[in-house]
Amino acid sequence: MKRLDKRSIGTQLTLYDLVDQLFGTRIGETLDELLVKGCMDFLDEGQSVWRMPGRRQGLFRAWSQIARRNRRLRLHGLDVGQILERADRPETAIDLVMQRLQIPEALWMDYFTVELAKLHGWAGFIRWRSQAKGYYWQERNPADLVDFIAIRLVLSWPLIEEAQRRFGRDFRYPAWVACLERNPDECLLRHELHSGAILPDYAHRVEVAVARGDTSRIKTLRLEYEREKTRREAASCAVRLQELCERAGIARKDLARLRSSTLRRLIETVYGFRSREGYVWTQALERTYIRRLLAALAASPIRARSRAPGSDAAATVPASKIQALFCIDVRSERLRRQLEGLGHYETYGVAGFFGVPVNFIEFGKGHEAALCPAIMTPQHVALEMPHRHEDHQESLFQVATEVVHDLKSTPLAPYVTVEAVGLLYGFDMVGKTLAPTTYSRWRRRLEADRQPTRLLIDKITRDEALDLVTHLQDEMVVRAVDRHFGLKREAITTEMIQELREIALRRIPTTPSLLARRFDIGLAAEEVFLTSLRYEYRINPDQARIQLEQLARIGFHLDHQTQMVRNTLKAIGLTSGFARLILVVGHGSTSQNNPYESALDCGACGGDHGAVNARLFAAMANRRDVRERLAEQGIAIPDSTWFLPALHDTTTDEVVLFDLDQLPPGRLTQLTRVEEDLVAAGRLCACERCAELGDTDVDSPEAAAKRVKRHALDWTQVRPEWGLSKNASFIVGSRALTQAIDLAGRAFMHSYDHRQDENGDLLAGILSGPLIVAQWINTNYYFSTVDNEVFGSGSKIYHNVVGRFGVMTGNLSDLRTGLPAQTVLRGQRPYHLPMRLVTVIEAPLSFVDAVLAKVHKVRELVHNGWVRLLVLDPSRGSAFLFEQGAWRPQPNPDGDRHRLGSVPAHRPDVRPPPTPALLEVTP
């Protein structure tokens, strides 16, 4: 039986938890409901028709203004006005309520933690939002955890007060401590009664006894009840124990003969083991996987072919050979394997942002999207521009100028122009807020007329930036004159425009301007107009300075581009033996009506498609001046080599090639072949995918390809793909290590050659970047699987999008976090296998140890067992697993390939073999 410990008050239980548990109230539920409604109203990002007023003042103040006269609260009998009158700041409100509840200050931190854990989804979103740099809605409507806790506490006070009145008790902290100390019998019985754990035949007696409050009767009943309950529990456990022993081959009569000390040991072992059992199962899954992986690697026939660095430099690379860089994502593994199976492909794995962290501004959008792992903050900006201009118009300045002119006729004059050149960030939101319908219409038109684009990656000079800002200001003046005075461009002179701009910037004295004199505009009207220019159209020195700062962030210096290309190529060990064509393949997904779509995109690109980063990397690697600098650093990329960006759709396994217009004409013949190869490999992947999705009626690769495409476009499809389900390992080493093995789409794979990494910096980079991202993914899948209701987001069937930023179950719930059931469960059963990430590094053990010493976070994860680190030491020919604080040599496996089901890559004319994929299952 569970006895309440006074030490749990405030550290595990709130005061109203105790009221709920001992008096059968539902204060916690009521609080959750009221707080969720408040959060929904405040945090809304444009979904709700009626907007909460006063949000710019912050969450607590906006809420408290409404709460003072809120009928919803009155219906619950709550009068929070009394507290709110005395506390206009959230800190004051917290102080006030905590003191009223008489909770000792030493417990406050624990108490807040327990409160925050109640709605950890909403609290987690507010916590993220409050630290997110440049998040529009946070800047506009600020909220933080202090607001959140303050509201919760303010709401809890009248609810506790009302319960006190109702039960005639004191429910403040000191009273609860005294109660648990002095009346443990009553507390225990009350807890049994209201937690539903009470023995049914005792329920009525207990209810009557606690209602009467006779201490001695309660004590007598408690003694009887406890004795009886313990006896029944013990009897039930004894039966199970006997059953267990019988199944283990110990007959009841033999069990009876055991000495008491032996029986005691048996009982303590069995019950002592129960708290460890889940962990043992988890280790069993991991260890089984590791054993099979080691056996498969030992049996791999290609491993010996691992080449020495630079050994290919002199060798001739066949003209037909194609290299391809893929994201480390587990879903790349299938396509890589199938593509390699075609014969002339060599693939590499690298984090899907290809070493180019960037804030990207899509054409027609005014906001930046950070395309890099969430652990990084990009410093540079890349812009997308329509690709219509002549070849000689290379610079951003020329293209942007052209864009400004092109957008003269757009409806949202001041905003759209600015958006198009990406000068004023956040204006996408302004458009949505000020004129949503017009804006939306304009956006649709823009999308429909979407032209081919190119990415601008070079820095512009300060003079060019100044010119650009000036040009933009002039455009603003033209629009403003038109709007204010109805004067079209042809009615005013360039001199007038320039003069107005200079006046707005306060570079020349104000009035009267040429425009005013020419059109008889009065002093007052002119002053209003100038004020509008400065504040509405933002022609002012401060804004000009911001614009110049923003422009300075655009693009990368040539040396920086060289460095990024070099680092990526070195990290994957591709520094010689370049093929004539190198595909740079980012990935993304396609699904309809799926709020979780971005969970299926590239984690290394901040949950976005990877095409932009692939295009940026390829554009840089194709530059002659970048290659000249790379050659000086010992990486000689032949002139004949071309990097071609592509996007792998992980839902359909189709691959789209980008920037073909920039492909040298001589390569077009090769292109057809590549496209056919990609289609063939994609169809074979689709076969594997259909098998996993349970589509058993698919009888050919073509049919499989059609089926997966249908899933992608079906808006009722709750599971367009399995995402990264079943992810199990992260392999850092040469592809030769794993090339002969079917890793069943369960391995993240980062190419790496320790022989090209003298000081360990490359490995440190892989561990502190891609590995961390993979570990985040792995643990999210783990916990979403073991408890989908708490750590996952439950079934998609019941999901409702809230406020355009999150999902709730039904009309009102905690904000759902983690992955939906359809991603990790098949029916009620786990589809994902919950295990910690088995990280394999191919490098000498002493070298890995030294690198690990340099990366604190990863060392902590390894030492605390959040990732299982396995080192394949080529110098010793042995494997070592870090376990229980030490490196433990792993036994040499026998390399039974057949048992593990290592299969050759599927051929187009052969159906997928029935043998289970490696490391999948061995029935």
Partner 1 sequence: MTGHVIDSATAAGGARAPANRGEAHRDLGRELKIRSTVAIAGEFLPFVWPMRNFINHNPLHGLEDRPFDEAVEQATRLFHAQGYLRRTEYQALLQEGHIDIEVIEQLIDEFLTDGALGGPWPDDDADLDLKRILVTLMTLMDQPTLGGNAIPSTDALLAELRPTTE
Site for partner 1 in 372-431 (CB under 8 A): 374
Which residue, among 431, 406, 430, 404, has the nearest Cα to 417 in the 3D structure? 404
Q: What residues form DSSP beta bridges with 384?
A: 455
DSSP 662: G
Q: Considering the complex, state which of residue 268 and residue 549 has its C-beta at the smaller distance from partner 1.
A: 268
Told to check if 291 binds partner 1 by CB under 8 A, we report yes
Told to check if 908 binds partner 1 by CB under 8 A, we report no
Q: Considering the complex, state which of residue 246 and residue 675 has its C-beta at the smaller distance from partner 1.
A: 246
Residue 333, burial from CB neighbour count under 10 angstroms (0-12, 13-18, 19+) = buried
Q: Element (H or E) spanning 704, and its range? A: helix 701-713
DSSP three-state, residue 214: coil
Residue 40's contacts (CB-CB under 8 Å, 6 or more residues apart) are: 48, 802, 803
How, if at all, do strands 837-842 and 799-802 pair?
A: unpaired
Minimum distance from residue 399 beta carbon to partner 1 (Å): 28
Q: Considering the complex, state which of residue 481 and residue 919 has its C-beta at the smaller distance from partner 1.
A: 919
Residue 620 corresponds to which amino acid? M
- Give the C-alpha separation, 589 to 709, whole Å: 11
Q: Which residue has tokens 């072919």?
A: 305
Number of residues that bind partner 1 (CB under 8 A): 150
Told to check if 517 binds partner 1 by CB under 8 A, we report no
Minimum distance from residue 705 beta carbon to partner 1 (Å): 27
Q: Which residues between 602 and 631 bind partner 1 (CB under 8 A)?
A: 603, 606-608
Told to check if 256 binds partner 1 by CB under 8 A, we report yes
Minimum distance from residue 663 beta carbon to partner 1 (Å): 32
327 marked as binding residue: yes
Q: Which of residues 42, 176, 529, 617 is near partner 1 by CB under 8 A?
A: 176
| Options 356-364, 376-384, 431-439, 774-782: segment touching partner 1 (CB under 8 A) | 774-782
Told to check if 242 binds partner 1 by CB under 8 A, we report yes
| Options 60-68, 201-209, 239-247, 412-420: segment touching partner 1 (CB under 8 A) | 239-247
- Give the C-alpha separation, 23 to 176, whole Å: 13
Minimum distance from residue 702 beta carbon to partner 1 (Å): 31
Told to check if 170 binds partner 1 by CB under 8 A, we report yes
Which residue, among 395, 369, 372, 371, has the nearest Cα to 454 in the 3D structure? 395
Q: Which of residues 208, 223, 244, 508 is near partner 1 by CB under 8 A?
A: 244
587 marked as binding residue: yes
Minimum distance from residue 882 beta carbon to partner 1 (Å): 13
Q: Which residues between 838 and 867 bind partner 1 (CB under 8 A)?
A: 860-861, 864-866
Exposure of 615 in the CB half-sphere (CA atoms within 13 A): 23
- Give the C-alpha separation, 229 to 824, whole Å: 39
Told to check if 910 binds partner 1 by CB under 8 A, we report no
Longest dimension (CA), the chain: 116
Which residue, among 821, 825, 727, 805, has the nearest Cα to 773 in the 3D structure? 727
Residue 69's contacts (CB-CB under 8 Å, 6 or more residues apart) are: none
Told to check if 915 binds partner 1 by CB under 8 A, we report no
Told to check if 513 binds partner 1 by CB under 8 A, we report no
How, if at all, do strands 747-751 and 369-371 pair?
A: unpaired
Q: Considering the complex, state which of residue 592 and residue 922 has its C-beta at the smaller distance from partner 1.
A: 922
DSSP 904: P
Residues in contact with partner 1, shown as a per-residue x/- string from 191 to 220 under the rule CB under 8 A: ----------------------x-------
Structure tokens at 631: 């050659």
Q: Which residues between 798 and 837 bind partner 1 (CB under 8 A)?
A: 801, 804-807, 815, 817-819, 829-830, 833-834, 836
Residue 89 corresponds to which amino acid? R
Q: Which of residues 207, 214, 266, 464 is near partner 1 by CB under 8 A?
A: 266
Residue 501's contacts (CB-CB under 8 Å, 6 or more residues apart) are: 470, 473, 474, 477, 539
Residues in contact with partner 1, shown as a per-residue x/- string from 558 to 597 under the rule CB under 8 A: -------------------------------------xx-
Q: Which residues between 35 and 54 bind partner 1 (CB under 8 A)?
A: 45
Q: Considering the complex, state which of residue 254 and residue 406 has its C-beta at the smaller distance from partner 1.
A: 254
Residues in contact with partner 1, shown as a per-residue x/- string from 713 to 742 under the rule CB under 8 A: -----------x------------------
DSSP 293: H
Q: How far is CA 576 from CA 23, 318, 579, 831, 901, in A?
A: 74, 14, 9, 41, 34
- Give the C-alpha separation, 349 to 351, whole Å: 7
DSSP three-state, residue 570: helix
Q: Which residues between 63 and 102 bind partner 1 (CB under 8 A)?
A: 82, 86-87, 89, 91-96, 98-100, 102
| Options 233-241, 297-305, 350-358, 493-501: segment touching partner 1 (CB under 8 A) | 233-241
Q: Considering the complex, state which of residue 253 and residue 507 has its C-beta at the smaller distance from partner 1.
A: 253
- Give the C-alpha separation, 666 to 664, whole Å: 6
Structure tokens at 718: 């709750």
Told to check if 535 binds partner 1 by CB under 8 A, we report no
Q: Which residues between 108 and 127 bind partner 1 (CB under 8 A)?
A: 108-114, 116-117, 120-121, 123-125, 127
Told to check if 318 binds partner 1 by CB under 8 A, we report no
Residue 265's contacts (CB-CB under 8 Å, 6 or more residues apart) are: none
237 marked as binding residue: no
- Give the C-alpha separation, 182 to 168, whole Å: 18
856 marked as binding residue: no
Q: Considering the complex, state which of residue 706 and residue 826 has its C-beta at the smaller distance from partner 1.
A: 826
Binding site residues for Zn(2+), as ranges? 327, 329, 587, 602
Binding site residues, as ranges? 327, 329, 587, 602
